[in-house]
Structure 1
Amino acid sequence: MCGRTCLTLDPDQVLCACKYPKSNKLKDEEDIKQEYEKPEWRAEFNLGRRYQASYNIAPTDITPVIVSAAHFSEAKDQQYARTVMPMMWGMIPAWHKGDYRKHGLTTNNCRLEHLMDSKLYRGPFKRGQRCVVVCEGFYEWQTTKQAKASEREAYLVYVPQESEVKIYDKSTWSPANVKLLRMAGLFDVWQDESGDKMYSYSIITFESSQIMSWMHYRMPAILETEQQMNDWLDFKHVSDAQALAALRPATALQWHRVAKLVNNSRNKSEECNKPFELAAKPEKPKGMLAWLTGNKTRQQQNKSKSGEVEQLQETATKEAPKRNPTSPNALQSSAKRPRCELINIEQQESSDVQVKSEART
């Protein structure tokens, strides 16, 4: 499963980090003489929405996605070229009418097992609309342990980096030497009533292999090699079956636990992707927020004290000795008698007075 990602690069930096071998005939990936080329950035209108770098990207956000340039050009020199496009995370059903945000389906992930049976994903796959979603890493919550959703431990998962590179510390790397995590996906194009287009995608997932099964039962299809990238993107020359064969469980991943700050998608702080032990503690509230927080605390304290007083009074009442009706305190006790009992006493006294009066007569 993949429900949140991290990508803090600007468009130009994304292109630099997404360089690919110029020749389709791949050499050894360690061959330093291999020539690399930058992909082209294709900025679509997408109903006025733009990509924004973020430490905490969620479904419905716009992110950079790699596709084959052959989707937009028939030129021979573009058959193996790559293009980076901003698309919305969460595929919009082609048949949906109205507000694109209200189709009511959860489409941020596409299960590989049901891909060919899905009305939503089968069409884009058969049309060769295969893409690669790039990020510095994705966030995952440990669901293999029983715990409330808010109490699950969160992790940032990423591909192994060079020894001096710390993925959570941008001062240790540059777009030229960072290794982005690349996930296989499918994209589609949706049009509103005015004919304006929105590009959107879903990330393909399958059952977790041993490398991630301790954390979650699902994992994204991660493309580790350039050969896998080519096989997935090249819809002109690579069949559907060959493309699916390129989707294999990752063999090498790294991760570290992060703070629960990432649980809320509105939190975009740079603390989101830092290791749990290095993440800064939340600042104490200031101004009006501090007053409201302090006032709430005082109310809770007063409520607690009030409860303690009531409990002491109740205990004192239970433990108090029974009073003698003939004692001076009898009058005080009588004040607590039921109203009906007081009325009976008054009637008895009135009757006694009448009897005495008749006796004198």
Structure 2
Amino acid sequence: MCGRTACTLAPADISKACAYRDNQGRRKKPEWRNGDSDKYKPSYNKSPQSNSPVLLSRKHFEKDADTSEQIIASMRWGLIPSWFSERDPSKMQYNTTNCRSDTIMEKTLYKASLLKGKRCVILADGFYEWKRHNGEKQPYYIYFPQTKEEKMSEKTADSSEWKGWRLLTMAGLFECWEPPDGGDPLYSYTVITVNASKCMNWLHDRMPAILDGDEAIQKWLNFGEVSTQEALQLIHPIENIAFHPVATIVNNSRNNTPECIEPIKLGVKKEPTLSASSKRMFEWLKSKSPKKEEPDTPCLQSCSAESPKKTSAGLMRQWLKTEEGACMEKRLKFN
């Protein structure tokens, strides 16, 4: 499943990171739909009902556009069908955060959107999943492997070319709901999920339908040239992912700091913040009690073998150091 994501890039960088080639082979950056870049707020901890950047065909907004042209929109997580009659979308009784691929053609709620070509790609740095560990829920952060040093936000002569973190691209469906008493239409989406791959099934039995590569993304979005049945062939588990455990701070959706995605080593606890008297008591207890060695729990990082210096978790640390600098402070505006 997918119930929490991270998306920390500024709007302009998201556009750069989603550059694609059109039917004429020209490299293009998808534009943001008018006003939507202001609705999106970067976050290390996005939960359902928040807004996320979504890639889709420009044809959905402009009738004269080619279906292969792409555009970025800000949409609410949790699909609200067009026929929903309540005035408040939060009163939706069904959980539409995720949509199972194996029942997508059986449930009217999703089948209608699929057959109308309302296919989209949800953009994120990565997503979170939880697993019981020593009686507690341990969060993990899952993302595309980052294997090249030059991907770490390096500056190049061509400033329009993206050299930063590779965004995770998840297949989804979207809808447009109009309030019964008038008002602005609400665009919302659901993430399609599939059976977990061999790399992921130790963590959870479901995972998002991840589209790996430009060709898969273009086919999924191009509803004018790619039929529903052909598009569904793109929906399947993948092994090309990396992951690492993160601090339980992410368990609370209100927490929104780089610590949410920073790799940790399982079994190593942070020292508590103690007062002077508490520190003296703590030292006394340590001296009077036999020492216990913490087990050396391995930190899972990637589905593929990588050298310690070039693991995706290691690159994540480098990226976080870069993003925590002055440049990040100027770029990101959190809720």
Q: For the superposition of Structure 1 and Structure 2, which TM-score range results when normalised by the shorter chain?
A: 0.7 to 0.9
Partner of residue 183 from structure 1, selected from 161, 170, 173? 170
State yes or no: 1:199 paired with 2:184.
no
Query: How far apart in 2 are the matches of 1:72 and 1:136?
Result: 26
- Structure 1, unaligned runs of 5 or more: 26-34, 295-361
Query: How far apart in 2 are the matches of 1:109 and 1:152?
Result: 21
The alpha carbon displacement at 1:52 in A equals 0.5
Which SS does the other structure have where 1:12 is aligned?
helix
Partner of residue 111 from structure 1, selected from 97, 100, 109? 100
Which residue does 1:2 correspond to in 2? 2
Query: How far apart in 2 are the matches of 1:88 and 1:216?
Result: 25
| Alignment-mate amino acid for residue 221 of structure 1 | A
Which residue does 1:16 correspond to in 2? 16
The alpha carbon displacement at 1:87 in A equals 0.1
TM-score, scaled relative to structure 2: 0.73
Tell me if the contact between 2:40 and 2:74 (Cα under 8 Å) persists in the aligned partners.
yes
Query: How far apart in 2 are the matches of 1:88 and 1:123?
Result: 19
The alpha carbon displacement at 1:277 in A equals 3.7
The alpha carbon displacement at 1:66 in A equals 0.2
TM-score, scaled relative to structure 1: 0.68
Which residue does 2:325 correspond to in 1? none
State yes or no: 1:61 paired with 2:53.
no
Tell me if the contact between 1:43 and 1:86 (Cα under 8 Å) persists in the aligned partners.
no
Relative distance call for 1:252 and 1:172 in structure 2 (3 A) is farther
State yes or no: 1:225 paired with 2:213.
yes
Whose radius of gyration is greater, 1 or 2? Answer: 1
Which residue does 1:121 correspond to in 2? 110
| Alignment-mate amino acid for residue 188 of structure 1 | E
The alpha carbon displacement at 1:75 in A equals 3.1
State yes or no: 1:41 paired with 2:29.
no
The alpha carbon displacement at 1:63 in A equals 0.6
The alpha carbon displacement at 1:281 in A equals 4.9
The alpha carbon displacement at 1:276 in A equals 1.5
Structure with the larger RCO, 1 or 2 (CA within 8 Å, 6+ apart): 2
Which residue does 1:73 correspond to in 2? 62
Tell me if the contact between 1:93 and 1:103 (Cα under 8 Å) persists in the aligned partners.
no
Query: How far apart in 2 are the matches of 1:280 and 1:199?
Result: 42
RMSD, aligned α-carbons: 2.9
Relative distance call for 1:272 and 1:283 in structure 2 (3 A) is farther
Which residue does 1:155 correspond to in 2? 140
Partner of residue 125 from structure 2, selected from 136, 150, 161? 136
Which residue does 1:102 correspond to in 2? 91
Aligned length: 269
Which residue does 2:312 correspond to in 1? none
Query: How far apart in 2 are the matches of 1:216 and 1:13?
Result: 31
Q: Higher helix proportion, which one?
A: 1
